[in-house]
Amino acid sequence: MKRTENYVKIEFLSRSSNEGFARIAAAGFAAQLDPTLDELGDIKTAVSEAVTNAIVHAYPDALGRILLKMRMTEGNVLELTIRDWGRGIDNIDQARQPLFTTGGTERSGMGFTIMESFMDRLSVKSSPGKGTTVVMRKRIATRINAGK
């Protein structure tokens, strides 16, 4: 395991309005690694998908807790963990398939696929009735700043 260089933990209610907050918090934390605008967009999108999954699927009928942990490790790796204590996922392999959803016809079923495409690594752990933990990692390319 790589050495942690910085971290932050934020807990919030599963209100849809907090999805935007989580995106901005992740972008602000990641900014320390000097990401490109594309990398920043990838991070914001992946966090948005993970938090939205927790809001929609973990707590469909009530408010619950969501924990966002952000960690930087040596080698410019950003690790993002989104944890809930909601319904959990019965079949993770099935849930990770494109177009599969338990959220009704208005949901695309692309959340995990999008997270996976924008991050270098994605892991999902879940226990029915106990919640879900999504861990995403992205290495931010080291850039040489001209003129410095």
Encoded amino acid at 19, one letter = E
Asked if pLDDT for residue 41 goes beyond 90, the answer is: yes
pLDDT computed for residue 22 by the predictor: 97
* Domain over 4-139 is classified CATH 3.20.20.70: no
| Dihedral in degrees, nearest 10, Cα atoms 113, 114, 115, 121 | 60
Phi/psi-derived region of residue 99, left when phi > 0, alpha when psi is between -120 and 50, beta in every other case: left
Q: State mean pLDDT over 83-96.
A: 78
Catalytic residues: 49, 53, 107
pTM assigned to the model: 0.84
